[in-house]
């Protein structure tokens, strides 16, 4: 399985694209459609809270698309994490068709707000109830969405979505969306026209021949005394066929031929991630392959989306019940703010929790990827913004925070040389995606990132090169406390 994350703006709008890995033997015949999820779309206009004189925010860097109509085909799901206009933006959401196949999943306050617009078909909007531990309540609050099979008659996959709020949240902005993806089965795909081999049926027992020589005790002793190697083997073993062995070789770009980047969902299919215009940015020949695992390609993908941050204590029960039940650990990707932003308590207090919360989640869930969310440069104006305090964390400080969480140290400085720190921080890759940039992470934890570079540009070729950056995950699956 593979996940592509595309940053649509410099804030908290992301397009997720999930796909299964197709066996090499039929990769040229089967092209599965990605299952796409759009998170907190804010493409159009400013975000005003209560009144423009109180707080108005606008993008400094434009989004990579001008309208949601450019997403072709339309996303399968739109997930809204909170009701503030920079997450639940009416002007942007109205760019979606009022009816159709796209489902809008929204936390309770956002669902009520969207229904009040009276624009969308009522069947299109579904509320994500607050997540509660089914081991305590006996009921399930996770929304389950079926994923169509790769071929007609095949087994479906499934996407689960949960809303985990933070307790005692004065600002009303802290919470998380948990998403898992289990791909439709692909091990039983066949080429069209090939015969389907049925299990062998044992023949019926032949009637007893009264003239056949009856075995005696002497005959039995003679057979037992005969060496096993000398005994003739039967011409056919009438046993059920052995299931195919799961592929264990590390995933490479060539083995992911069926997977395309999220850019192919926009009206620009020439930017496919595995097109010939991409070349390796770093050599993968010297990288140690991941240890073979029969679950490498089939392990479900898991993602936590928390643009304003959430304490791990609020996620712990979700991780130890739902993520464990779905076999979705370690966490594939964490989309969480890195900057820390606060106001006086009477203006909301903690606005973005930043690294202190995110580092704990990444370390305890073994996140393979931590992508910055809600940290882009914005034009913020109004009376409520004059007292904002912002701390921007650099990558070295974030790595130090990850090390401290794993070591149980209270400070975020980190000790030891670079190799030791890289090993001790758990293998979590720290990424800040610009608007329009994307990353692909496979089920084994390997990353391919589209980057724009000018290093190899020449006067005859003024356009930037699209290159591929390849990395491998280093951490084993953690055991949540």
Q: pLDDT tens across 349-405, in order? A: 788 899 999 999 999 999 999 999 988 877 777 666 677 888 999 999 999 999 887
**In angstroms, rounded to a whole number, what is the distance separating the alpha carbons of residues 150 and 142?**
24
CA–CA separation, 400 and 414 (whole Å)? 5
Q: What is the pLDDT averaged over residues 33-47?
A: 90
Q: Is the dihedral of CA 325, 331, 337, 342 positive or negative?
A: positive
Strands 103-106 and 125-127, how do they pair? parallel
Confidence band for 62, pLDDT divided at 50, 70 and 90:
confident
Best CA proximity match to 336, nearest among 359, 314, 320: 359
User: Please, which residues bridge with residue 145 across strands?
Assistant: 159
Whole-angstrom Cα distance, residue 31 to residue 33? 6
Confidence of residue 418 (pLDDT cuts 50, 70, 90): low
**pTM for this predicted structure:** 0.72
In this structure, how many other beta carbons lie within 10 angstroms of the beta carbon of residue 435? Answer: 18
Tokens 């990707």 -> residue: 333
- What are the tokens at 256? 């992911």
Share of the chain above pLDDT 70, in %: 61
Q: How far, rounded to the nearest angstrom, does the alpha carbon of residue 171 sit from its chain's CA centroid?
A: 28
Query: Minimal CA–CA distance to 256: which of 466, 449, 23, 450?
Result: 23
Which structure tokens are listed for 380? 């913020």
Mean of pLDDT over the chain: 74
**3-class SS of residue 149:** coil
Query: What's the token pair of residue 195?
Result: 């015969």
185 CB neighbour count, 10 Å cutoff: 16
| β-pairing verdict for 143-147 and 157-165 | antiparallel
What is residue 242's predicted lDDT score, i.e. its pLDDT?
Answer: 36
Nearest 5°: CA angle at 187, between 186 and 188?
90
Q: What distance, in Å, lies between the first and last C-alpha atoms of the chain?
A: 27
Asked if 324 and 309 count as a contact pair (C-beta separation under 8 A), the reply is no
**CA pair distance 425, 416, nearest whole angstrom:** 12
Q: What is the pLDDT of residues 137-195, one digit of tens each?
A: 999 999 999 999 988 888 899 999 999 999 887 767 899 999 999 999 876 666 555 55
């Amino acid at each position: 399985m593979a996940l592509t994350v595309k940053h649509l703006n410099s804030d908290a709008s992301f397009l997720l694209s999930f796909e299964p890995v197709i066996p090499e033997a039929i990769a040229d015949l089967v092209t599965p459609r990605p299952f796409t999820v759009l998170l907190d779309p804010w493409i159009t206009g400013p975000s005003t809270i209560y009144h423009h004189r109180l707080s108005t925010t606008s993008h400094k860097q434009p989004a990579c698309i001008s309208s949601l109509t450019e997403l072709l085909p339309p996303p399968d799901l739109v997930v809204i994490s909170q009701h503030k206009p920079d997450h639940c933006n009416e002007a942007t959401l109205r760019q979606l068709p009022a009816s159709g196949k796209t489902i809008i999943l929204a936390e309770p306050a956002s669902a009520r707000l969207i229904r009040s617009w009276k624009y969308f078909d009522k069947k299109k909007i579904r509320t994500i109830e607050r997540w509660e531990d089914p081991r305590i309540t006996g009921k399930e609050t996770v929304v389950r969405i079926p994923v169509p099979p790769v071929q007609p008659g095949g087994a479906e996959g499934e996407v689960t979505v949960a809303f985990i709020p933070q307790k005692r949240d004065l600002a009303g902005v802290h919470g998380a969306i948990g998403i898992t993806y289990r791909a439709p089965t692909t091990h039983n795909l066949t080429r069209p026209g090939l015969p389907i081999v049925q299990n062998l049926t044992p023949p019926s027992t032949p009637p007893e021949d009264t003239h056949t020589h009856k075995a005696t005790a002497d005959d039995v002793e003679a057979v037992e005394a005969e060496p096993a190697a000398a005994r003739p083997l039967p011409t056919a073993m009438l046993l059920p066929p052995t299931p195919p062995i799961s592929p264990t070789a590390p995933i490479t770009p060539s083995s992911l031929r069926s997977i395309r980047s999220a850019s192919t969902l926009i009206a620009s299919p020439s930017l496919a991630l595995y097109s010939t215009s991409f070349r390796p940015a770093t050599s993968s020949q010297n990288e140690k392959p991941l240890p073979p695992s029969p679950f490498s390609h089939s392990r479900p993908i898991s993602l936590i989306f928390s643009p304003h941050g959430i304490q791990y204590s609020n996620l712990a029960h979700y991780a130890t019940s739902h993520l464990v039940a779905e076999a979705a650990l370690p966490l594939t990707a964490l989309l969480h703010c890195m900057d820390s932003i606060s106001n006086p308590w009477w203006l909301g207090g903690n606005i973005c929790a930043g690294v202190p919360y995110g580092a704990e989640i990444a370390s305890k869930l073994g996140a393979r990827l931590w992508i910055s969310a809600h940290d882009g440069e914005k034009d913020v104006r109004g009376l409520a913004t004059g007292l904002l305090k912002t701390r921007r964390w650099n990558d070295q400080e974030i790595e130090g925070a990850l090390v401290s969480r794993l070591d149980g140290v209270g400070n975020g400085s980190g000790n030891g040389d670079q190799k030791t720190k890289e090993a001790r921080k758990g293998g979590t890759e720290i990424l800040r995606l610009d608007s329009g940039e994307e990353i692909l992470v496979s089920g084994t934890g390997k990353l391919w990132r589209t980057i724009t570079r000018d290093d190899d540009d020449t006067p005859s070729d003024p356009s930037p090169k699209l290159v591929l950056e390849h990395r491998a995950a280093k951490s084993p699956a953690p055991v949540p406390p």
